Structure 1
Amino acid sequence: RGMVSALYDRIDGNEQFAADVAHEIKNPLASLRSAVGSLRMVKKEEHRVRLLDVIEHDVRRLDRLVSDISNASRLDSELVKEEEQRFNLLEMVQNLAQYLGEDAGKKGIEFIIDLPQNPIEIHGLEARLAQVFVNLITNAVSFCEDGDAIRVWARRRENRVLVVVEDTGPGIPDEALTKIFKRFYSQRPETDFGNNSGLGLAISKQIVEAHGGVIWAENIRPTEADITSEPLGARFVVGLPI
């Protein structure tokens, strides 16, 4: 009975995923169809160039979307098949942070790494967890501007380790806090529209939970006593068992 129930849940999940995929692909396809149709009629070269830019953007968006969908659809089986190993989580986070911190520095963002001296080893899939922290750090960089700061820090708490990525960017809209880990949800400025599939955080959540961990997002506020105060930035926390 349990196996049948799990199978039905998986079928329902696949159907929902297929429906979500179809919905997401229709948007850039509709934009492409409109741009191609307009391209046949425009006479001025400047209008043609603008439409070609739209077409190129939509093609890149579709390519990114299909790649992320492919990765997401294979993730369940790959998480089961790949062999877990014991590794130093802090060393992995340190290497990633140093590398990605260079991109932050180019944007004028201060990048702070605050990790304990003693190694913290966990049992898991190092490459998959690296994917989680790459996503969290690159997201923080994309939301920050010149003069902002990003801090990556970790602390051991009894039988688990917390790795935190926080920034001084615009924070997360309150209505988005419960949605940002859903598939295809994206809360980005208009200038960045179409540059993300909205699957990154959903995939990160899936990887963390497959390791028996938790991931959540919150706003950094001047005082927790006043939840209506303007956020000073965003904080993403990953908790993993040791």
Structure 2
Amino acid sequence: MSLPDRHSLLWKLVAALALLCLLVVILEEDLAERVENATSRLPEETQQVLKGYAAQAQRAWEQQGAAGVDAFLEQLQEHEQVWAVVVSAQRESLASQPLSEDKHTRLNFIRPIDGLIGRPGARPSFYIPFEGSDARLVMELPLRLNPRQHNRLWEILAQQVLPASLAVLLGALLYRMLIAPMASLRRQAIALGSGDLSARIEPRIAERRDELGELARTVNHMAARLESTVDFQRRLLRALSHELRTPLSRLRVAGERELDIATLRQRQEREVLAMERLIDDTLELVWLDTERPQLPTEPVEVAELWNILREDCCFETGWPVERLPCELPADCRVSGNLNGLAQVLENILRNAVRHSAEHGIVRLSGQREDAHWHLWIEDQGPGVAPEQLQQIFKPFTRLGADRPGGDGFGLGLSIAQSVVHSQSGDIWAENADPGLRVHVRLPAA
């Protein structure tokens, strides 16, 4: 199984999860490092408090001697609940009681007031020298002054709150990425189900290049196709009912008149044939538009096909063959369905003959363009107004017809367009000088 392309939702989800994990690791380590560095030394406010205790101890020693030191240490112990001693430069106690062996040992691990606190979780001891003296106050750092007293809170923030916040952020991102478009698709489906065929998914979703964007474009295409089909069938039904009403009215009038049997039968046959042709062409157009059939293709000699069609046309119209020349190169072979192409060329040919000037010429020409053959059929009739060049390919479009069915039913070019499009081709019209030129582009065989 091949991997999805680079715009797939899979890679977006993988990237989002990888980014979440990376952010959690980086931010947690960075935050821990920053907190560790920020709490590795005593802040200036804490140093000032300890220096204040040292100044009190120095005044007590200078004013009252050992008794003053004893009173200070007792008061400090009561206030801060910490171990503390006042010693000389030779580590001799300046209080009334000498230092015990345990206190002597603890003096080996003291540090200056501006030094590092040490490993987390420990209760470090600092020494603060007296002003102008070798004596010093040695005391354990009070818990309330420990800059690391809130480190546990920072650990909870880094290890629990931060990942949870990033997970919520990722969830919101995934909701915007996945759930919101699905809600829009749901609204589109509800709108289509309620009959609003003009509803479309907004461009911000349809223009995405992942699976949701493809789904949105597919749904929009389906909705547009459905709207076009329903609108086409409605217009076709209205036009068909209008076109059938006229021959039926003529038949009713003919039945009401006192006509001989032969005349009445002739009128009846002509009107019935016209209605049969109208219904057949309409059904074929509906079939081409709704079914979009994939007709089998084969190499088709366009010049030979034209010869057959113009023989039939000359027999029906009395035109000489010279007025329907073929100027195609000898190697003109297209890939298409023979019957479908015959119908396309016949419809264009009959339309051109119908609107040609007296003694006019209808000419088939073409040239090779890369992998396609560009064909065109031009007449010498009055042409078409520029604003109606697209209109003539719509069903039941007749320009200058005196009566319905009298100049055709306006379905020939519509059927030709549907057949050409079903065979991966294109068809359009432009005014020649004089007349109308209908272009057909088809894949080369």
Q: State TM-score, norm by structure 2.
A: 0.44
Provide the secondary structure at the position in 2 that maps to 1:217.
strand
Distance 2:294 2:405 in 1: 35
Equivalent position to 1:113, from 326, 330, 334: 326
1:147-186 map, 5 Å: 147-174=359-386, 176-186=388-398
SS of residue matched to 2:398: coil
Q: Deviations over 1:30-55 (max 9, x none)?
A: 33334433x1xx5xx69x98877655
- Residue 431 (structure 2) aligns with: 219
Q: How does 1:83-232 map to 2 (within 5 A)?
A: 84-100=296-312, 102-103=314-315, 106-108=318-320, 110-122=323-335, 124-174=336-386, 176-188=388-400, 190=402, 193-194=405-406, 196-221=408-433, 232=434
Does 200-209 or 88-97 show the bigger shift? Answer: 88-97
Q: Do 1:150 and 1:168's aligned partners in 2 also have CA atoms closer than 8 Å? A: yes
2:313·2:350 contact (CA, 8 Å) conserved in 1? Answer: no
Deviates more, 1:164-173 or 1:130-139: 164-173
Aligned residue among 236, 258, 276 for 1:63: 276
- Partners of 1:171 and 1:233 within 8 A in 2: yes
**Alpha-carbon distance in structure 1 between the residues aligned to 2:430 and 2:316:** 21
SS at match of 1:59: helix
In the TM superposition, 1:6-25 aligns within 5 A as: 6-25=225-244
Q: Identity percentage over the alignment?
A: 27
Does structure 1 conserve the Cα–Cα contact (< 8 Å) formed by 2:357 and 2:380?
A: no
> Larger C-alpha radius of gyration, 1 or 2?
2
Cα distance change, pair 33–175 in 1 and its aligned pair in 2 (3 A): farther
SS in 1 for 2:430: strand
Which structure 2 segments of 5+ residues have no match?
Answer: 1-215
Match 1:234 to one of 422, 430, 436: 436
- Tell me: CA distance 1:49–1:103, structure 2 relative to 1, closer, same or farther (3 Å): closer
Distance 1:176 1:9, change over 3 A: closer
Find the aligned partners of 2:437 and 2:284 in 1 and give their Cα distance.
26
Residue identity in the other structure for 1:26 = R
The partner residue of 1:36 within 255, 267, 284 is 255
Corresponding residue of 2:156: none
Q: Is the contact made by 1:212 and 1:241 (CA closer than 8 Å) also made in structure 2?
A: yes
Q: Using the alignment, how far apart are the partners of 2:401 and 2:338 within structure 1? A: 32
Structure with greater helix percent: 2
Q: Give the Cα–Cα distance (whole angstroms) in 1 for the partners of residues 243 and 311 of structure 2.
A: 32
Change (3 A) 1:52 1:96: closer
From the superposition, tell whether residues 129 and 72 of structure 1 become closer, same or farther in structure 2 (CA, over 3 Å): same
Deviations 1:119-170 (CA, angstroms, capped at 9, x unpaired): 4342x32211111001111222222354211211111112321111111223
- For 1:94 and 1:220, how far apart are their aligned partners in 2? 21
Residue pair 2:427, 2:440 contacting (<8 A) in 1 also:
yes
Q: How many residues align?
A: 224
C-alpha distance 70-193 of structure 1, shift in aligned 2 (>3 A): closer
Change (3 A) 1:111 1:17: closer
> Which structure has the highest strand share of the two?
1
Identify the residue that residue 228 of structure 1 maps to in structure 2.
none
Distance 1:87 1:59, change over 3 A: same
For structure 1, the 5+ residue unaligned runs are 222-231
Distance 1:15 1:147 in 2: 40
TM-score (norm 1): 0.75
Amino acid at match of 2:406: G
Secondary structure of 2:408 counterpart:
coil
